[in-house]
A = this chain, B = another copy of it.
């Protein structure tokens, strides 16, 4: 079969590989639609080292082609939504009482596509623990909306979960790209009052307001903490980092209340350093919590997000404003993500279910 791979750092191209084989618990899936993520282009540029000939992609809706001998719930022909986090459910760490089902054998170890094995930009891809990791696409949910649950919505909503929103909280969301947009939608669905998005792109700002943002501010208009404090007449309850660099953590400390939470869902670059003066953290005495996130794995997570879509709470597919068709257009979609034209929100490739 063919797949679109990172050939070496900064060079992508088609590769020919054997069709993957299903072990007793696994499934082989054909993609129906895939989306491109900045993690794909970041990896291509060497973010995870030189993963020679590694097939890219980790956001997919697909059709099950075959399943292993021990797979019971999932059947060939099922139209499935694939959580980008696919734990090994025999690992003990997924049993932890404070676990969010995302770490199996260590940090990020359950983010297998792309980092540990071939991804979804191929004729077929392999899914471990198929019964536990594949959700059936329910009636009434489009492929596009479903596709946005696999990473964007799951990641962003996890950032909101970590922020422990209470009714009426004022929430700042750094970034109004696809993850930030979904963080805004998730915060509104979690009971936030005022939601302030930070960003500059016009079409993103418009969509942010549709998803529930009450205000949009831009770093172009001055120092962010100063702007926030003026706008709100004081400090805010929660900050969700869905964009920006490690420096945003110090900024966040300057604008969040005692007992506040800073919830990070940005995948930082290995070259970055988090740094902030103890004074901004109330000398370690202000009950300000800094959390990092990694979205929960497994099918049940996706089922829950699909329920929100099915019942009209959110329409994440609206973010997909660059559509391509056919497996062969994957390189073009990856290129768009890499070049990031000013009006891009999120690109995807519709391959079809035949």
Contacts and interface: CB of A to CB of B under 8 A. Distances in A.
A9 interface: no
Nearest to A23: B70
A284 B304 contact: no
Contacts of A100: 97, 259, 287
Contact of A95 (B157, B269, B299): B299
Contacts of A157: 167
A164 interface: yes
A276 B274 contact: yes
B287 A97 contact: no
Contacts of A195: 311
Interface residues of A, number: 95
Complex copy number for this chain: 4
B296 A258 contact: no
Does more than half of chain A's interface fall in helix, strand or loop, or is it mixed? Answer: loop
Contact of A306 (B102, B168, B170, B313): B168
A73 B95 CA distance: 15
A275 B274 contact: yes
Contacts of A305: 167-168
Given A102-B287, A194-B310, A286-B292, 18 more contacts: A70-B70, A90-B132, A92-B303, A95-B298, A95-B299, A96-B300, A107-B282, A107-B286, A157-B167, A168-B305, A168-B308, A191-B308, A194-B307, A194-B311, A246-B284, A258-B294, A264-B284, A268-B278
